[in-house]
C-alpha cells in the first residue's frame, strides 16, 4: 500500500525537483537585473525591484539547505525490518522546540531500529494513544510542518522507511501492549549508551511480549523523548541534515516573510531577502523571563530587556523584532526601547502584519504563531535569547549550523568564561543566563 502511495506522489515530487532546478536560474537572472538596471539613471529602480519579489525570494532561502545523502548514508547502515512500525505514542508536544525535538528523536530511533513509522501527530490533536487502536489526526502534522516536503525528503533520504498515514477511524493494527521508552543515546553522559545497547533493549522489550510475532506487522507505541541523542557524537552531516526534513508549515513561513518585508519597508531598512543572516538589518530578541523576583542572572525582565537593548546598540541595529509569550512584557519592552536615550524601535509580529494578515494570524494556534517568530528570528542580523527557553536554543543552533556551513565557526561556549551570566555567544546569537541542567541537555541533544 505504501509503495503505491509513493508512486502516486512521484509526479508531484518530480515537479518540485524541476522547480528546484529552475530556482537557481531564476535567482541568477533576478540578481542580474538587480545590479544591472540598464538605462536606469535614477537610483530607485533596484529598490523597487527588490521589493516586488521580496517575499518569494525570502521564502526560497532555507537557513540550512537539505542534503539527502547525509541521512541516506545513515539509513543504509541500518538493518531494516519492514514489519516493525513505530508510533509516537503521545504525539509531539505543542511547543516550537519540543515539536522538533520529539519528532527528530523519534525518527532517529526508528532509523537505528530499522523501523517504519506512523506519521507523527501533534499532542492536543485528537489522538487516542493508550488504546491499541491508533487513530491519528492526519492533518495535525501539516498544521506545523510542510507535510509534502517531509514525505518527499524522507523518500529521498530514507526510502527504506515507510511512513504510514492512518485514515481517521481506520483501525491499522493492534499495537503491542505498553509504551516503549527508548534507551538514551546520550553517549556524552555514558559511553555505554551505544546503538547496540539501544537495540538490545528494544529487542528484549519486544521479546517479553507474548503477542510479539516477528513475521507479523508489529506496531510499537514509543514514548516521546527530547534531547536523548548525543547529536555531536553522530556523523556531522547526519546531525546537520536530519532536522531539515522538518520545515515550518507554509502559512507560518509566509506570515514571517510578510512581517520581514513590512519591517524593511516601514523603517526603510535595507534587507537583502537572499541572505540568511542579513547584515545591519534588525536585532531579534526573545524575551523569556521567569516572572517574579529571580536572583539568577538575566532571569528578570529588567535585566533581560536592558541586555538586549545594549546588544542592539552595540551592533548598531536600531530596529528590534521582539517576541514573548507574555503580552505585558512585550508592551513594556516596546516602551523601554522607545524611551531609551538612543533611538530604538521594538516591534512584534502584531505591529508589523497588516490587518488582513493579523486576522489570519488570529486563526492560528499559539504554537503556529510562535513558528512565525521562529522563522523571523532565525534570519535576524543578531539574535538574543534566554537560557531557559528551548525556543532560543532552536534559533541559535540553526544559525550556528549556518555559520559552520559558511566556514565561520567560532566557539559559542567561550562566552561562559568571558561574560558573567552568559551561556552562549557565537557572534550572531547570544544566549543570556545560566542553567546547569539545560546547558548540559540542550546544546548536544538538540538537532539543528
Ligand X SMILES: *[C@@H]1O[C@H](CO)[C@@H](O)[C@H](O)[C@H]1NC(C)=O
**Residues at the contact surface with ligand X, assessed by CB under 6 A:** 128, 130-131, 289, 291, 293, 297-298, 300-303, 326, 328-329
Please identify, using beta-carbon distances, which residue of 89 and 344 lies nearer to ligand X: 89
Report the alpha-carbon distance of residue 413 to residue 146 in Å, rounded: 33
Please identify, using beta-carbon distances, which residue of 94 and 329 lies nearer to ligand X: 329
Residue 295 CB, shortest distance to ligand X, in Å, is 7
Q: Are 180 and 137 in contact (CB under 8 A)?
A: no
Residue 325 CB, shortest distance to ligand X, in Å, is 7
Please identify, using beta-carbon distances, which residue of 44 and 339 lies nearer to ligand X: 339
Residue 107 CB, shortest distance to ligand X, in Å, is 25
Residue 422 CB, shortest distance to ligand X, in Å, is 11
Report the alpha-carbon distance of residue 180 to residue 110 in Å, rounded: 12
How far is the CA of 39 from the CAs of 36, 191, 329, in angstroms? Answer: 9, 66, 51
Residue 128 CB, shortest distance to ligand X, in Å, is 5
Please identify, using beta-carbon distances, which residue of 303 and 364 lies nearer to ligand X: 303
Residues 139, 243, 364, 226, CA torsion sign: positive
User: What is the CB-side half-sphere exposure of residue 371 using CA atoms within 13 A?
Assistant: 26
Please identify, using beta-carbon distances, which residue of 46 and 421 lies nearer to ligand X: 421
Sequence-ordered list of residues with C-beta below 8 angstroms from that of 94, at least 6 positions apart, any chain = 122, 123, 124, 365, 366, 367
347: which strand partners?
Answer: 321
Please identify, using beta-carbon distances, which residue of 283 and 298 lies nearer to ligand X: 298
Residue 131 CB, shortest distance to ligand X, in Å, is 4
Instruction: Give the closest residue to 245 by CA, choosing from 383, 117, 403.
Output: 117
Residue 142 CB, shortest distance to ligand X, in Å, is 23
Residue 130 CB, shortest distance to ligand X, in Å, is 4
For 144, the grid coordinates are 506545523
Instruction: Give the closest residue to 321 by CA, choosing from 340, 347, 354.
Output: 347
Q: Are 399 and 277 in contact (CB under 8 A)?
A: yes
Phi and psi, residue 357, nearest 5°: -80, -30
Please identify, using beta-carbon distances, which residue of 131 and 216 lies nearer to ligand X: 131
Give Cα 94 to chain centroid, integer Å: 13
Please identify, using beta-carbon distances, which residue of 293 and 343 lies nearer to ligand X: 293
Report the alpha-carbon distance of residue 140 to residue 423 in Å, rounded: 35
Report the alpha-carbon distance of residue 440 to residue 60 in Å, rounded: 34
Residue whose C-alpha cell reads 543566563 in the numeric block: 433
Instruction: Give the closest residue to 106 by CA, choosing from 161, 176, 173.
Output: 161
Residue 211 CB, shortest distance to ligand X, in Å, is 17
Sequence-ordered list of residues with C-beta below 8 angstroms from that of 214, at least 6 positions apart, any chain = 81, 83
Please identify, using beta-carbon distances, which residue of 68 and 423 lies nearer to ligand X: 423
Please identify, using beta-carbon distances, which residue of 157 and 431 lies nearer to ligand X: 431
Longest CA pairwise span in the chain (Å): 81
Amino acid at each position: 500500500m505504501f509503495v503505491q502511495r509513493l508512486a502516486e506522489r512521484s509526479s508531484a515530487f518530480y515537479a518540485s525537483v524541476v522547480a528546484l532546478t529552475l530556482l537557481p536560474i531564476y535567482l541568477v537572472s533576478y540578481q542580474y537585473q538587480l545590479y544591472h538596471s540598464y538605462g536606469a539613471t535614477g537610483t530607485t529602480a533596484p529598490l523597487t525591484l527588490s521589493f516586488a519579489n521580496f517575499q518569494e525570494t525570502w521564502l526560497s532561502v532555507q537557513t540550512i539547505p537539505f542534503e539527502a545523502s547525509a541521512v541516506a548514508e545513515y539509513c543504509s547502515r541500518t538493518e531494516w525490518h519492514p514489519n516493525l512500525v513505530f508510533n509516537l505514542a503521545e504525539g509531539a508536544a505543542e511547543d516550537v522546540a519540543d515539536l522538533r525535538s520529539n519528532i527528530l528523536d523519534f525518527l532517529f530511533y526508528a532509523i537505528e531500529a530499522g523501523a517504519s513509522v506512523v506519521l507523527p501527530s501533534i499532542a492536543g490533536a485528537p489522538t487516542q494513544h493508550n488504546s491499541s487502536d491508533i487513530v491519528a489526526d492526519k492533518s495535525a502534522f501539516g498544521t506545523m510542518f510542510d507535510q509534502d516536503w517531509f514525505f518527499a525528503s524522507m523518500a529521498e533520504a530514507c526510502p527504506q522507511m515507510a511512513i504510514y498515514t492512518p485514515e481517521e477511524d481506520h483501525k491499522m493494527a493492534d499495537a503491542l501492549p505498553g509504551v516503549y521508552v527508548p534507551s538514551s543515546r546520550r553517549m556524552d553522559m555514558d559511553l555505554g549508551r551505544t546503538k547496540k545497547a539501544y537495540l538490545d533493549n528494544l529487542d528484549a522489550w519486544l521479546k517479553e511480549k507474548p503477542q510479539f510475532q516477528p513475521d507479523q506487522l508489529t506496531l510499537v507505541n514509543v514514548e516521546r523523548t527530547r534531547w536523548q541523542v548525543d547529536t555531536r557524537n553522530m556523523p556531522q552531516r547526519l546531525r546537520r541534515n536530519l532536522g531539515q526534513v522538518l520545515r515550518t508549515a507554509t502559512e507560518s513561513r509566509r506570515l514571517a516573510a510578510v512581517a520581514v518585508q513590512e519591517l524593511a519597508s516601514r523603517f526603510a531598512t535595507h534587507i537583502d531577502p537572499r541572505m540568511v543572516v542579513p547584515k545591519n538589518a534588525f536585532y531579534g530578541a526573545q524575551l523569556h523571563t521567569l516572572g517574579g523576583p529571580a536572583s539568577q542572572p538575566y532571569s528578570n525582565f529588567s535585566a533581560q530587556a536592558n541586555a538586549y537593548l545594549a546588544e542592539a546598540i552595540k551592533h548598531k541595529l536600531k530596529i528590534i523584532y521582539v517576541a514573548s509569550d507574555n503580552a505585558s512584557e512585550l508592551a513594556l519592552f516596546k516602551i523601554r526601547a522607545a524611551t531609551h536615550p538612543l533611538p530604538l524601535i521594538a516591534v512584534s509580529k502584531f505591529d508589523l502584519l497588516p490587518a488582513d494578515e493579523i486576522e489570519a494570524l488570529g486563526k492560528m494556534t499559539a504554537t503556529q504563531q510562535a513558528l512565525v517568530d521562529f522563522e523571523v528570528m532565525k534570519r535576524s542580523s543578531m539574535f538574543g535569547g534566554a537560557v531557559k527557553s528551548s525556543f532560543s536554543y532552536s534559533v541559535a543552533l540553526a544559525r550556528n549550523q549556518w555559520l559552520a556551513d559558511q566556514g565561520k565557526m567560532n566557539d559559542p561556549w567561550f562566552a561562559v568564561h568571558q561574560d558573567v551570566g552568559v551561556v552562549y555567544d557565537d557572534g550572531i546569537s547570544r544566549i543570556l543566563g545560566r542553567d546547569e541542567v539545560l546547558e548540559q541537555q540542550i546544546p548536544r541533544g538538540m538537532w539543528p
